[in-house]
Amino acid sequence: MKKILVLCTGNSCRSQLAEGYLRHFAGGRAEVYSAGVETHGVNPRAIATMQEDGIDISGHTSSNMDQYKDIDFDYVITVCDNAKERCPFFPSKAQKFHHNFPDPAKAAGTEAEIVEQFRAVREQIKAYSRDFIKQNIA
């Protein structure tokens, strides 16, 4: 079974969304983990945004990438430029992928505008995750 690690800065939003969708689209054909170069806790808006789409990430925790240094990953996906720059060397055959998604946690404006930013990023990550699984997990 393929092992996928998704990395972002704080493992609170983007990597959590990606972990949820990658697991969903893989349908048990891959082990999916997410972590941050720091840990900020799972953002409640990320949980709510995924719940709107029928994906429950309420049981996810915010993990530091050091927790996974001994796992032989097949794929490491960075979902922000900061994580890509700070991504450690993984002594494995892991293929690295990168896509810099906007950080919805930095959204400003009214509550409705912030929720729309989370939804927009969710849809970008959903499409990316669907395509990633189609292309890399047989």
8 is known as an active-site residue: yes
pTM of the model: 0.92
Please tell me the distance from the alpha carbon of residue 118 to that of residue 113, in angstroms, as a whole number. 9
87 is known as an active-site residue: yes
Catalytic residue among 6, 37, 80, 121: 80
Catalytic residue among 7, 8, 17, 83: 8
Tokens of 61: 């925790």
Please tell me the distance from the alpha carbon of residue 90 to that of residue 133, in angstroms, as a whole number. 21
Sign of the C-alpha dihedral, residues 10, 117, 18, 131?
Answer: negative
Q: In a 10 Å sphere around its CB, with 0-12 CB exposed, 13-18 middle and 19+ buried, how is residue 13 labelled?
A: buried
61 has a pLDDT exceeding 90: yes
The domain locations on the chain are 2-136
Amino acid type, 113: E
69 has a pLDDT exceeding 70: yes
CATH 3.40.50.2300 fits 2-136, yes or no: yes
Catalytic residue among 39, 40, 87, 97: 87
Average pLDDT, the chain: 91
pLDDT in tens, 83-115: 666 655 555 688 999 999 999 999 999 999 999
